[in-house]
Copies of this chain bind each other. A is one copy, B any other.
């Protein structure tokens, strides 16, 4: 007789899994691997505990022996991604290194769209993993090395992190989606030029900027770094407009 498992004559609508999953077939690491793959491929909205279990070929409740629930699983997935962060090699002046560090964080985020959304929506209530804390510490060190005062360093860091999250979010949600880009193009082309003269006039440039998401991040980063450098050359904290 063929080796293929022969008890059922033809598979009815039921899922493919036939028997109990063997005892050691699961682990938190394996679960997280599949969860991140599912998240990257299908997106956060399509993710569910049931879908993840099916992807693993186990019953839904098997997941609950490794994670208290969906939230805990998501936090573990997020930490797994953050742990993968490796700071860029330290070369050049303090601001060049700061620039490189920000870009690395931004790339980490855009590379994991679903995890970015998790991060953006987190209330910051939970502990972060060491690598994330270390990255933060390193950026603060660079800002201090540049000569910024205590308060300026703290606030400049806040500015960089807010811009990085906002930027990565936009890239993931629109720049990286062909349909979204196409919709943007159509919308901007349909605008009545007499009511929105500048928008219509700058349409090609706006489109180009939207298509090249990564470049846009670096462009904005440089604007902020320009302000930070100005801060570094002043004795007191002052970046007020007038």
Contact = CB atoms under 8 A, between A and B. Distances in A.
A226 interface: yes
Interface in A97-125: 99, 117, 120-125
Interface stretch (A10-18, A24-32, A151-159): A151-159
B206 A154 contact: yes
A219 B239 contact: yes
B225 A241 contact: yes
| Chain A interface, DSSP helix/strand/loop, else mixed | helix
Contact of A205 (B96, B137, B150): B150
A170 B96 CA distance: 26
A27 to B, nearest CB: 28
Contact of A173 (B122, B136, B154, B163): B122
Interface in A139-163: 140-141, 144, 150-151, 153-159, 161-163
A124 to B, nearest CB: 4
A227 B197 CA distance: 25
A40 interface: no
A224 interface: yes
Contacts of A241: 95-96, 99, 222, 225
Interface string A154-191: 11111101111111011001100101100110010001
Contact of A154 (B159, B208, B224): B208
Contact of A239 (B150, B162, B177, B223): B223
Contacts of A122: 173
B173 A123 contact: yes
Contacts of A125: 179-180, 183
Contacts of A177: 123
Contact of A144 (B156, B198, B228): B198
A149 to B, nearest CB: 9
Interface in A222-240: 222-228, 230-231, 239-240
**Closest 10 pairs (CB-CB, A-B):** A166-B166, A223-B227, A159-B220, A226-B227, A154-B205, A140-B198, A222-B239, A162-B166, A124-B174, A137-B196
